[in-house]
A and B are shown apart, each in its own frame.
Chain A
Amino acid sequence: MVTVPKKFGFGSFVSSILWLVFWIVVIVTLVGLPLIFIILFYVPLPYIGDEVLTPYLFFSMMVDPTRTIPIIKFLIHTDIFRVMVFPGFGYAAIIAAVTIFVERKFLAKMQLRVGPYYVGRWEGILQLMADGLKLISKEIIVPSGADKLLFWLAPVLFVATAAAVTALIPVAPGGWVVADIDVGLIAVFAILGFFPLIALLFSWASNSKYPFIGGLRALHQMVAFEIPFILSALSVVLVAGTLNLTEIVESQYLYWFIIIAPISAFVFYISSLAELERIPFDLPEAESEIVAGWITETSGMLYGLIQLGTYLKLYALAALFVILFLGGWTGPQIFPEEIIPGYTGEKIYNHIVINGIFWFTLKTFGMIILFLLPRGISPRIRIDILLHTGWYKLIVLCFINIFAVLTLIYGGIIPTGGILQ
C-alpha cells in the first residue's frame, strides 16, 4: 500500500524548486559575483600549470572539466596533501574508522549477535560518528593530584606517535610515501618504542593505583616483545639487503618473503598483537583485574584520542606486515591502462599506482582481520606466561628462521646482499 503525504501537489513542488533557483541566481548575481571580484582585485592570483587562476578559468572549467586536471595534479603532489590526505593521516584514519566498524560487526557475527544496527540507514554504519560525538560532548575529568600537563599531553602524544608510524609506510609505487628514508625499518621500531613510555607517563601522571599497575605491565610487555619483534624483521632484511621499506617491497617482485621466512612472519604477528595490546595480550588494560589498566582515568575525548591512536597503530602494524612478508603493493595488474579509450589529453589516472593501492589496501585489510580474530576466540593471557612466551619461545623461533635464511644465502640459493643487486 502506497502512502502519499497529505497536501502534496506536483505544481507546488515544481514552483518551490523554481523559486529556490530564482533566489539563488539573484543572490549570486547581486552579492556573490561582486564580492568575488572585489576580493580578486586585492589578492594576487597564483599560477597553476601555465595559466593564471582567474574566475574566467573557473568558468571554463565548468564547461570543460578536463581543464581541472593540472590543478588536481599540482595539489596531489604537494607535501601537505601527502601528510594530510593520501598516504598519510587521512588514509590511515579512514582505514582505522572502517576497521572499528568491521571489528564490531565481525565480532558480533562470531558471537551470534547483531552489533551496531540503528545509527545510519544500513547496519548501523554511522555508529562510529555517534560514538565520536558522544565522546566529544562528554566532560573531561582530571583526577585531583594528577600531573595536569602530562595528563593532557599523553593522549595527544599517543595519536601523534601513531601517525608518525603511518608516515613511514609506502602505499603505492612511485614514491607514494610521506617520508622515504633509508633506515625506514629502524625508524618504525624506534617510534614504536615510544608507546610504552607514553603509557607509563600517563599512568604516572593520573595518580591512581590501577593505571600505575597497567603502565608497569605495558613496560614489561614491551621489554619482552620488542626483541622478538625486531629479530623477526631481521631475516627479511638479510634477504632484501636494505632497510628502506620501499626497496624491501620492490625486492619482492619474484616471490613474497613469507615463503622463506614463515616462522618470522608468525613471530611478527604474535609480537604485533602484544605491541597493539590486543586480546590475548591486553594485560595493560585487563578490566577484570585492574579496571581499565593505564587508561582508567581517561574520560571524554582523551579516551577517544587513545582509541584513535590504537587503531592507527593497528593499521600501521598490519601494513608493516604486508610490506615485510606479503609483498606490499605487488600483485597482478587488474586495472586497464586507460579508462576512456582514445583520450589523449593530460591525465591523472595511473594504472600502476591505482593497482598498487588496491592490492595494498586489500592485503592490509586481510591482515587487520587476522589481528581482530583472536579477540573472538581467546581469553586473556597471564603476565608470567606472557613474559615466558616472549623471552624463551619467540626469540628462539626468530633465531631458527634467521639461521635458515643465512643458510639459503651462503648456500648460494639466494644472492648475497639482497635480491636487488
Chain B
Amino acid sequence: MENFDYKINDTQKLGLEIIKEASFDDRLMTLSVGPQHPGSGHFRFVIKIDGDYIVFCDPDPGYVHRGEEKMAEYRTYIQNIPHLERPVIHDSTNITYSYSLAVEELLGIAVPRRGQFIRAIASEFNRQIYTLYWLAIYGIFLGHSTMFMWPAGDRELFIDLMEALTGARVTHAFNIPGGVRNDIPNGFKERCLRQVSYFEKRLNEYEDIFYNNPLFRQRTEKVGILTKEDAIKLGVTGSVLRASGIPYDIRKVEPYDVYDEIDFKVQYLKTCDSFARSYVPFLDMKESCYIIKQLLDKMPESGDVRTKLQSNVKGQSGESYKRVESGRGALGYYVVSDGSPKPYRVKISVGSFRNILALPHLLVGSKLGDMPAIYWSLNYWPVEADR
C-alpha cells in the first residue's frame, strides 16, 4: 500500500498554488454539490475542481432552516418538546435530553432516580439508532449497498425497543422536564438484553465485512487527515474530535444524571483520517452496548419516573446551559427565562454545525473521489445544523 502514500500536505500546497495561478482561468470547473445531488443531503457545497483535485470548497447550509429557536419562544416549556426534537429525529431523545436538563436547572426540579436511568437507557438506544443510520449512509456514499441495508435493518432492533418503551418509532417526545413520560413495560429488561447481545454479534460481522474490506480501507485510510491541532482550532466535537486523538466525551467530562456511576471508556483513535472517523462511531456502538447492560443492572426495581409539573410551569428568571453527548458530539441548550411560562430565549448548540467547519479545510487539496468519504465521515446531519 505504500504506493498510495501521498502526502496530504503536498496536495494541499498543490491546491493552493493552483488557486493562485488559475483563479481567472478556464481550467477550474465549478460543481454545485447539492441540495439535489445524491451525495449531499439537505445541504449544498460549491466546489471547484482542477482535473481531479478539489481546489476550493464553500459549504452552504440553510436549506432546511425551520426557526426552531424562535418557535420555542412562543410555547411553554412542555409544549416545546415535540418540535425541538425535529432537527434530528433519529436522535430525538438526545436532543430533548439537554433541553430537559437545562429547564430542570432553571425551574429547580429534581428527577427521580429511576427516571434518570430510563433516560440514560433511551439516550443510549437513540445513539445506536442514529449511528446505525449514519453508518448506512456512509455505505451508500462509498457505493457499498450491503453496508446500507444491514445497519438500516439492524436499526429496527432498537427502534422496536424504543417503540415498546415510548410508543413511537422515531419521534419519541420521551424526555420531559422532570423525568420521562412513562415507566418501562413488563418484560422489557429480558427483551432488551436479548436484542443487545444479538446486536453485539452483528457488530462483529460489521467489522469483518465492512471495516476489514481492503477496498473500504483504500478509500478511507490516509484520506482527509485532520490533525490534533487543527481539530482543536476548528472546534470539532464528538467522533470527529475523538478520531483526531483527543479522548473528549461529555459523558466523561461533565457527567450528567447517572453517567458518573457507569464504567465505560472513551473510544478514540490517533490516525486522524477518514477511516478513524468512520471507525470511532462503531467503537462507540460497542461501548454503548456495554453501557446499556450496566444501566439495566443498576436500575432501581421500582419508584417514580417523573416529577409531576403543572402544564404552564413558571420558573425564576435566570439562565442555564446544559449539554449532553449526542451521536454527533456535544449538544447544548442555552435557555433564558424571564419568569413567565414561556422561555425568553432558547439557543441550540449542535455538534453538526461545528463539524462542518472542518469540511473546506479537509476537501481542499483532496481528490474528487475522496469527497463522499470525507464529507460523510464528519458526522454531519444537515437538518440539525440548520435547526
Please give me the 8 A-B residue pairs with the lowest Cβ-Cβ distance, nearest first: A380-B143, A288-B39, A111-B149, A379-B144, A379-B142, A288-B372, A382-B369, A288-B141
Task: Name the distance in Å between A1's Cβ and chain B's nearest Cβ.
Answer: 34
Q: Which residues of A contact B (CB under 8 A)?
A: 107, 110-113, 209-210, 213, 279-280, 282-283, 286-292, 375-385, 388, 392
> Given A377-B146, A385-B4, A280 and B368 touching (CB < 8 A)?
no
Query: Does the CB pair B37–A291 fall under 8 Å?
Result: yes
Q: Kindly state the separation between the CA atoms of A113 and B150 in the bound complex, as whole angstroms.
A: 9
Whether the Cβ atoms of A113 and B146 lie closer than 8 Å is no
Q: B372: which A residues are within 8 A, CB to CB?
A: 288-289
Note all chain B residues with C-beta closer than 8 A to A112.
149-150, 153
- With A111-B149, A384-B52 given, can you name 4 additional A-B contacts, CB distance below 8 Å? A288-B141, A378-B215, A380-B142, A384-B367
- Give the residues in chain A near B367, CB-CB below 8 Å: 382-384
B370 in the interface (beta carbon within 8 A) = yes
Q: Is the CB of B37 within 8 A of A379?
A: no
> How far, in Å, is B247 (CB) from chain A's closest CB?
29
Contact present for B368 and A289 (CB under 8 Å):
yes
Q: How far is the CB of B336 from chain A (nearest CB, A)?
A: 42
| Nearest-Cβ distance from residue B367 to partner chain A, whole angstroms | 7
Interface contact A383-B52, CB-CB below 8 Å: yes
> By the criterion of a CB under 8 Å from any partner CB, how many residues of chain B are at the interface?
33
B365, CB-defined interface residue at 8 Å: no
Cβ-closest chain B residue relative to A386? B369
- Could you give 5 example pairs across A and B, Cβ below 8 Å? A111-B148, A111-B150, A213-B368, A378-B144, A383-B52
* Pairwise interchain contact A288-B146, C-beta atoms closer than 8 A: no
Segment 43-58 of B: residues with Cβ below 8 Å from A:
52
CB distance from A114 to the nearest CB of B (A): 11
Nearest to B39 among chain A residues (CB) is: A288
Most buried by B among A107, A280, A291, A379: A379
Bound: A385/B145 CA distance, A: 20
**B334 CB within 8 Å of chain A:** no
Q: Is B216 close to A, CB under 8 A?
A: yes
Does the CB pair B370–A375 fall under 8 Å? no
- The reply to whether A385 and B218 form a contact with Cβ atoms under 8 Å apart is yes
Main secondary structure of the interface of B (DSSP, over half): helix
For residue A347, give the distance in angstroms from its CB to the closest CB of chain B: 49
A376 CB to nearest chain B CB (Å): 5
Q: A383: which of B4, B37, B369 is its contact (CB, 8 Å)?
A: B369
Contacts of A279 in B (CB 8 A): 143, 145
Determine the residue in chain B with the shortest Cβ distance to A108: B149
Of residues 324 through 377 on chain B, the ones whose CB sits less than 8 Å from some CB of chain A are 367-372
B147: nearest residue on chain A (CB-CB)? Answer: A379
Residues in B whose Cβ lies below 8 Å from that of A378: 144, 213, 215
Complex: how many Å from CA A384 to CA B142? 15
Q: Considering the complex, give the chain B residue whose CB is closest to the CB of A280.
A: B215
Shortest CB-to-CB span from B359 to chain A, Å, is 15
Whether A110 and B4, one on each chain, are in contact in the complex, defined by CB atoms closer than 8 angstroms, is: no
For the complex, what is the distance from the CA of A388 to the CA of B370, rounded to whole Å? Answer: 16
Query: Which partner residue on chain A sits nearest B214 by CB separation?
Result: A378
Verify B209–A288 contact, CB threshold 8 A.
Answer: no
Q: What is the CA–CA distance of A213 and B47 in the complex, to the nearest angstrom?
A: 14
Contact of B3 among A280, A292, A381, A388 (CB under 8 A): A388
Contact B149 A379 (CB under 8 A): no
Q: Interface 1/0s, chain B 152-184, versus A by CB < 8 A? A: 010000000000000000000000000000000
The 8 Å CB contact of A289, one of B149, B213, B369, is B369
Whole-angstrom distance between the Cβ of A156 and the nearest chain B Cβ: 27
Q: Which residues of A contact B149 (CB under 8 A)?
A: 111-113
Rounded to whole angstroms, the CA-CA distance of A380 and B138 in the bound complex is: 12
Chain B residues closer than 8 Å to A113, beta-carbon distance: 149, 153
**Nearest-neighbor residue (CB-CB) of A285 within chain B:** B143
Known: A111-B145, A288-B140. A379 touches B213 (CB 8 A): yes
A209 touches B31 (CB 8 A): yes
Report chain A residues within 8 Å CB of B14.
none
- How far does the Cβ of A143 sit from chain B's closest Cβ, in whole Å? 15
- List of B residues within 8 angstroms of A383 by Cβ: 52, 367, 369
B219 interface contact, C-beta 8 A: yes
Name A107's closest neighbour in chain B (CB-CB): B145
CA distance A383 to B370 in the complex (A): 10
Of all chain B residues, the one with the shortest Cβ separation from A290 is B368
Contacts of A282 in B (CB 8 A): 143
Chain B neighbourhood of A287, CB < 8 A: 38-39, 143
A209 touches which of B29, B141, B148, B209 (Cβ 8 Å): B29
Task: Report chain B residues within 8 Å CB of A111.
Answer: 145-146, 148-150, 153
Which listed residue, A210, A213, A280, A376, touches B146 by the CB 8 Å rule?
Answer: A376
Chain A neighbourhood of B4, CB < 8 A: 384-385, 388
Cβ distance A107 to chain B, nearest Cβ, rounded Å: 7
Q: B139 an interface residue at 8 Å Cβ cutoff? A: yes
Interchain CB contact under 8 A, B143 and A288: yes
Knowing A111-B145, A385-B4, A388-B3, say if A379 contacts B39 (CB, 8 Å): no
- Residues from chain B with a CB closer than 8 A to the CB of A385 are 4, 218
Q: Give chain A residues whose Cβ lies under 8 Å from the Cβ of B139.
A: 379
Partner of B39, one of A107, A213, A289, A377: A289
Given A110-B146, A288-B372, A381 contacting B38 (CB threshold 8 A): no
Contacts of B141 in A (CB 8 A): 288
Q: Which residue of B lies closest to A385 (CB)?
A: B218
- Complex Cα distance, B143 from A65, in Å, reads 55
Would you call B143 and A382 a contact (CB within 8 A)? no
Cβ–Cβ contact B371 & A289, under 8 A: yes
CB distance from B14 to the nearest CB of A (A): 14
Q: Which residues of A contact B218 (CB under 8 A)?
A: 381-382, 385
Which B195-216 residues sit within 8 Å CB-CB of chain A?
A: 209, 213, 215-216
B38 and A288 contact, CB distance less than 8 A: yes
Minimum CB distance partner of B51 in chain A: A216
Please, which residue of chain A has its CB at the minimum distance from the CB of B368?
Answer: A289
> Which chain A residues border B31 with CB–CB below 8 Å?
209-210
A113 to B215, CA, bound (A): 24
Contact with A along B26-40 (1 / 0, CB 8 A): 000101000001110
Minimal Cβ-Cβ distance residue in A for B217: A379
